[in-house]
Structure 1
Amino acid sequence: MDDPIEIELKLEYDPTDRDRLIACVLLAASGRPSRRLRATYFDTPDFKLDKAGYALRIRTDRDKHIQTVKAASSQAAGLFVRGEWEREVGDDKPVLDEKAGPLSQIFDAATLARISPLFTTDIERISGLIDHPGGSQIEYAIDSGEVRAGARHSRLSEIELELKQGSAEALFDLARSLNQQVPLRLGVQSKSERGYALARNRIATAVKAAPVVLERNMSAPAAFAAIAASCIRQYRLNEELLLRSGGAEAVHQARVALRRLRSAFWLFKPLLQGDDRAAMFAAELRWLAGQLGDIRDIDVLLPRLTGAQRSSLVAMREDRLNQACRQLADARVRMLPIDLAQWLSTGTWRTAPVDPALGERDITSFASDRLDRLRKRIKRDGRGLAGLHDEQRHELRKDAKKLRYAVEFFVALYPGRKPRRRMERFLDRLEALQDKLGELNDRAGEPALFARLGIDIAIPPLGKKQRRRLLDDAEECFEALIDCKRFWRD
């Protein structure tokens, strides 16, 4: 089993609720006077530090200037025993000598000379300690302020909770107690990440799935937690954009994140045996993805329509979007990522597994077995693809999507030129099969979709030759995938 982990929880709140949140916390806490924390983050104009996995800042706290170098990614942190280097400096200019961590070892003098201010944070913080019943102690920090990069700026309102001693349950109990007074959402961005998003002008851009950082000797439970956390992060970033703008790509990527998370639940199903909450979470994720799916169906159709039909569908989308936003504001949905975060840390599947041996198994062998199982399932169910019913081909398409997500989850486990070449070839053939199955599924499902949306479009059926060609192409893609070498067994 994994060693106990230090638990911190970041929650976001509406700026108008700040006074209420402070009042809730101070009722149960010993607090300190508010502090003004200003920080300047530094990098080169082409973001060399960030790309290497480091953040450099100088924070002004009263009359002190504290310089901090952080290893901002696990990849960077893995190179050194320490992941943070802090020192007091004389003013707001970085001192990049040998005491400033690894920067002077990683970058040459010309690069260090190009480091300059990139963005700033200006935060008012109220912090203190809460003694929770049962002996647990939690440190809190309520932050309110903004992040600014040039002319661009972003409001920041968050509370960070850190368990100093006692049970992790106390931390999440406190989060739920606060949520009853002030609506809260799980926070997934650091201040530096917010600043870099502003500096790169990506504050209103939908977020695609980021690579999951896994290590070959990592346990299967730790890998599942990392994969699930990555999916939750992608969902939350796109949920925020969806709530602000309602854009089609934000809806799409939020739904992709939920599908990826559901696929992770399926992949790691052997680990989750005996944990009743696993099935509950899977059902909630399926329901939520369905709510966004209705909007996504409209977004896909809109470019094909004109005139009154398009106007009618635009109005329908607006209504569905408003309904979805109301659902996202409901405590049931707001608390789902928070509940998942707790379950990933302290759920029965992790603390009292039905099969302890699985909890000790390394992720590399576990991943290979699960990839084998999914590939065999596709090989079995795809035989005679042209003669399958539409629903059977739809199920095959869903399994192909699961396999693609699985490969993307496990990319880091198969380094080296040869496995990567085989992986890329495998993914190319898998995506080709998905495309053909997707086209067949769309043609089969369009009449029912149009009827459900009240759209009157006469769709000419596929001709025999056209349908035969599409089925032959799908079978060819299927055979090419099955013939492709399994990179995970190299």
Structure 2
Amino acid sequence: MRSRPSPPQEIELKLEVAPSELETVLAHPLLAERSHGARSQTLHSTYFDTPDHALRQAGISLRVRRDGEQRIQTIKAARRPSSVAVARSEWEHDVESDSPDYALAKGTALEPFLEHSDRIAPVFHVTTERKLRDIAYADSVIEVAADSSTIQGSERTTSFGELELELKDGTAAELFQLALSLSTAAPLRLSFKTKAERGYEAASGEQPTRIKAAPVVLKRKMTSAAAFQVIAVSCLQHLMANEAIVRRVPEADAVHQMRVALRRLRAAMTLFKAVVEDVRRDPIRAELKWMANVLGEARDLDVYIATVLEPARDRYGTDLSYQSLLAEYQKRRDRAYEVAQEAVSSPRFITGVLKTAAWIEAGEWREGSGKAARKLRDQPVAMLADEELGRRWKKIIKRGRHLVELDPDERHQVRIEIKKLRYATEFFDSLFKGGGAKKRKRKALSALEALQETLGELNDIAVGGHMDASPIADVIHWEQMTRVDSLLTDATEHYQKLASLEPYWRS
């Protein structure tokens, strides 16, 4: 078989768009007036895997795509993302049938699985109506692919629209500039989800209710600039994976994970504050704060209902005033989740995410002039991690020394600092593996988690005092207040344990 010449990697920006909006985007003057080589395709793709989805678990996709009489076998191996624009290894060959030709898989990521090729079979099918054109934009050449796709899986059939911008020549900054310009025509959501991932969902019928953050992997000699991008992209992936769930159904855990993703990203921007300094940093951070706040009321009401009101049911379940109070808060929570859904579907949220992605990938901070700026960007991340972890550790030890004497707001600030240190510990986890660092880190995280949880309970009690003014609410709050002394004793013990530990990141 003849091999199709293709680059080992493709760099593209994937945007989700409603199928009904694709023509509106394609009618944008930037595409209508600057494109050449416009063409259309009808693509029929079959994806293959083992019954236990071993390829998927290894981050590999295998498909045979039919375009007219031509059939192309594609093997893709996803790597841990380090940028918003997708980068992955890819192997393509012409084949003669709709089944894979495993002789062409030697030397690819699929090779280790060839021993069990007899177990590989079709899993789902994707039919795509694609419109392609090349755009001369500024000094770049960008291929625009507008896809309207239908997936047929064993459990369900789904349809979706995508706009893929692939950089053929030029800069990532201009790739994002084009995306932002096109977003004025229709909502374009940043997407990390591949057709293969959508297909597996259709094949299994799975509907995730929340997705936790994936581990971040850094290398000690990696520059601080590159490390920030890896961390920030991980946070964006975490955010958008749960945003897709919240758009479908206002799932409490998914809303919580969206807020966690936003807090992690803001914490990363603080950790790398000097590295990413430019005129867009603070406006981006403010927009991320707005996103977190607009999701916050639903989460706060959830916590209050789950930790205060519902546990009081055994004592006051027959009390009409209690029933009225619980019903009122449940209504408020339902409305708060409606607001959260409206927010994630708003142009402000959608464009804010895209602008954040553009800043992470191609912001001015990456090209800041001056020796000092370059030195900060090029500094090995291990050095920055050591400095930041040490500074934040000292701050918590100092602020938490007299927890009992602090007012609720001051204790809440200590809790916020603990969260930031825990996020930093997660971000830099892969940098500190040698010697006894792993054991010391487990002890530190255990103490930090226990202290954060106890301070969180104290904060919930303090916030609960402002939630409602009614006789039954006052009674429930007074009952909660009787736990404060015990919780302060626990917090002091957790703090003392933390203060006695040796910093894990130092040999």
Instruction: Mark yes or no: TM-score above 0.5.
Output: yes
Q: Residues 31-75 of structure 1: CA distance to partner in whole angstroms, max 9, x if unpaired?
A: 433211122222222222222232222112221221122221249
- Aligned residue number for residue 246 of structure 1: 250
Secondary structure of the residue aligned to 1:189 is coil
Q: CA deviation at 1:234?
A: 1.4
Q: Residues 181-236 of structure 1: CA distance to partner in whole angstroms, max 9, x if unpaired?
A: 22221122111222234445443422111112322322111111111111112111
Q: Residues 309-349 of structure 1: CA distance to partner in whole angstroms, max 9, x if unpaired?
A: 33322332333333333333332221111111111122122
Whole-angstrom distance in 2 between the partners of 1:366 and 1:454: 53
Secondary structure of the residue aligned to 2:292 is helix
- Aligned residue number for residue 473 of structure 1: 490
Q: CA deviation at 1:254?
A: 1.1
Aligned 8 A contact 1:85 1:101 in 2: no
- Aligned residue number for residue 354 of structure 2: 338
The within-5 A match list for 1:272-421 is 272-273=276-277, 275-303=278-306, 304-305=309-310, 307-352=323-368, 355-415=373-433, 418-421=436-439
Distance of aligned partners of 1:247 and 1:464 in 2 relative to their CA distance in 1, 3 Å threshold: closer
Aligned 8 A contact 2:304 2:460 in 1: no
Letter in 2 for 1:405: Y
Whole-angstrom distance in 2 between the partners of 1:173 and 1:467: 53
Q: Residues 438-485 of structure 1: CA distance to partner in whole angstroms, max 9, x if unpaired?
A: 11111122111335x999452253699843332121111112222233
Secondary structure of the residue aligned to 2:214 is coil
Aligned 8 A contact 1:328 1:334 in 2: yes
Whole-angstrom distance in 2 between the partners of 1:196 and 1:415: 35
Q: Quick check: 1:487 aligned with 2:504?
A: yes
Whole-angstrom distance in 1 between the partners of 2:458 and 2:249: 32
Whole-angstrom distance in 2 between the partners of 1:457 and 1:153: 52
Q: CA deviation at 1:351?
A: 0.8
Whole-angstrom distance in 1 between the partners of 2:465 and 2:62: 56
Q: CA deviation at 1:131?
A: 1.6
Letter in 1 for 2:95: V
Distance of aligned partners of 1:431 and 1:153 in 2 relative to their CA distance in 1, 3 Å threshold: farther
Distance of aligned partners of 1:179 and 1:441 in 2 relative to their CA distance in 1, 3 Å threshold: same
Secondary structure of the residue aligned to 1:486 is coil
Distance of aligned partners of 1:471 and 1:215 in 2 relative to their CA distance in 1, 3 Å threshold: same
Distance of aligned partners of 1:96 and 1:246 in 2 relative to their CA distance in 1, 3 Å threshold: same
- Aligned residue number for residue 177 of structure 2: 173
Distance of aligned partners of 1:289 and 1:198 in 2 relative to their CA distance in 1, 3 Å threshold: same
- Aligned residue number for residue 128 of structure 1: 133
Which residue, out of 56, 61, 75, partners 1:55? 61
Q: CA deviation at 1:384?
A: 1.8
Whole-angstrom distance in 1 between the partners of 2:227 and 2:471: 45
Whole-angstrom distance in 1 between the partners of 2:480 and 2:128: 64
The within-5 A match list for 1:130-279 is 130-132=135-137, 134-273=138-277, 275-279=278-282
Whole-angstrom distance in 1 between the partners of 2:124 and 2:223: 38
Whole-angstrom distance in 1 between the partners of 2:52 and 2:503: 38
Whole-angstrom distance in 2 between the partners of 1:382 and 1:148: 56
Answer with 284-293 or 91-100: which moved more.
Answer: 91-100
Letter in 2 for 1:298: L
Which residue, out of 33, 36, 39, partners 1:33? 39
Answer with 99-108 or 224-233: which moved more.
Answer: 99-108
Q: CA deviation at 1:142?
A: 0.3
- Aligned residue number for residue 78 of structure 1: none
Give the share of equivalent positions with the same residue, in percent. 39
Distance of aligned partners of 1:97 and 1:196 in 2 relative to their CA distance in 1, 3 Å threshold: same
Q: Quick check: 1:424 aligned with 2:418?
A: no
Q: CA deviation at 1:160?
A: 0.8
Distance of aligned partners of 1:6 and 1:83 in 2 relative to their CA distance in 1, 3 Å threshold: closer
- Aligned residue number for residue 317 of structure 2: none
Which residue, out of 89, 94, 109, partners 1:88? 94
Whole-angstrom distance in 2 between the partners of 1:216 and 1:222: 11
How well do the aligned residues superpose, as a CA RMSD in angstroms?
Answer: 2.6
Aligned 8 A contact 1:69 1:100 in 2: no
Which residue, out of 424, 438, 445, partners 2:463? 445
Whole-angstrom distance in 2 between the partners of 1:91 and 1:56: 14
Letter in 1 for 2:425: V
Aligned 8 A contact 2:461 2:481 in 1: no
Q: CA deviation at 1:302?
A: 3.3
Whole-angstrom distance in 1 between the partners of 2:280 and 2:63: 41
Aligned 8 A contact 1:149 1:195 in 2: yes
Whole-angstrom distance in 2 between the partners of 1:166 and 1:226: 22
Whole-angstrom distance in 2 between the partners of 1:46 and 1:253: 28
Q: Unmatched 5+ residue regions in structure 1? A: 76-81
Q: CA deviation at 1:308?
A: 2.8
The within-5 A match list for 1:67-82 is 67-74=73-80
Q: Residues 254-295 of structure 1: CA distance to partner in whole angstroms, max 9, x if unpaired?
A: 11111111111111112133x121111111111211110011
Aligned 8 A contact 2:14 2:164 in 1: yes
Whole-angstrom distance in 2 between the partners of 1:334 and 1:103: 35
Distance of aligned partners of 1:203 and 1:61 in 2 relative to their CA distance in 1, 3 Å threshold: farther
The normalised TM-score by structure 2 is 0.87
Q: Quick check: 1:16 aligned with 2:34?
A: no
Whole-angstrom distance in 1 between the partners of 2:119 and 2:384: 45
Distance of aligned partners of 1:62 and 1:142 in 2 relative to their CA distance in 1, 3 Å threshold: same
Distance of aligned partners of 1:138 and 1:478 in 2 relative to their CA distance in 1, 3 Å threshold: same
Secondary structure of the residue aligned to 1:484 is coil
Whole-angstrom distance in 1 between the partners of 2:203 and 2:503: 41
